[in-house]
Amino acid sequence: MRIGKQDAPFTAICTSDAHSITVRGQDLVGSVIGNTDFTTYFWMLVTGSKPTETQAFFANAVLCAIAEHGLVPSVVAARMTYAAAPEAFHGAVAAGLLGCGSVVLGSAEVAGRFLAQVVEKGDVAAEIKALRAEKKAIPGFGHPQHSEGDPRANLLLKLAADHGIEGPHIKALRDIQAALPDTIGRSLPINVNGAIPAVMLDVGFPLNALKGISLLARTASLIGHLQEETERPIGFIMSGAAAAAIQYDGP
């Protein structure tokens, strides 16, 4: 049974022979290992070309910005999974990443698609009202803790201004923020998942790979948490706290 398109049996990412490994046209041993930092290599793997100095700077900045924020759901899931299955370090990392979605962690992708839509259509108020009509949150805005402004977002946007890379997506982000009082009746701060796609899209990172930024960054954090879990376990403490906090109200 033929399923999906089957007329382009090619990949441009990697090939190898008995003597060499080629990745995105680069000799892995001769040119990459020992000569290329991982963020540059990540950009090259995703896009097919090495980043400019500015692109690499902002890729590094956003990866640092989103990697760690305490005992968020992805971290809790990973640490509790490891507590239950210490033989499955990889499974615990996977457990933390599987919840990367529209509310937590993966919301940078959702915000990026919204920004791209605003840039394409140009009517900020109409796009906000369309979301509200479906009872959806405005992606990239608001934060349960940083209600007066997400410091990570503020810095990323300042860096964008300082480096002169503000483009249509950052403008769209600012326009949305300015339109919120009239469209939803209150102002909201830009959060890090609004700033990240605005910055990354304006420096040329592909829209369809935006979720990869969050996944790569959070993987590093999860490995750190799981290493700590091996030495100072809190997975069962969190499990016990959940059981104590939730009351049964069934029949």
Sites in the chain below the pLDDT cut of 50: none
**122, 203: one domain:** yes
**204, 128: one domain:** yes
Question: Tokens in use for 116?
Answer: 């791209």
- The three-state secondary structure class of 135 is coil
**204, 123: one domain:** yes
pLDDT at 135: 86
In what helix (H) or strand (E) does residue 111 lie, and over which residues does it extend?
helix 107-121
Question: For residue 205, what is the DSSP state?
Answer: -
pLDDT at 148: 78
pLDDT at 105: 82
User: Exposed, middle or buried by CB within 10 Å (0-12, 13-18, 19+), for 14?
Assistant: exposed
Asked if the structure places residue 177 within a domain, the reply is yes
Domain count, the chain: 2
**33, 114: one domain:** no
Residue 35: which domain range? 11-41
Asked if the structure places residue 112 within a domain, the reply is yes
- The counts of H helices and E strands in the chain are 11, 3
What's 199's domain CATH number? 1.10.230.10
Q: Cα dist. 15→27, 41, 43, 241, 244 in Å? A: 10, 16, 18, 50, 54
pLDDT at 241: 95
pLDDT at 6: 83
Backbone angles phi and psi of 103, in degrees to 5: -100, -45
- The three-state secondary structure class of 23 is strand
Asked if the structure places residue 64 within a domain, the reply is no
pLDDT at 7: 85
In what helix (H) or strand (E) does residue 27 lie, and over which residues does it extend?
strand 26-27
pLDDT at 143: 76
pLDDT at 40: 98
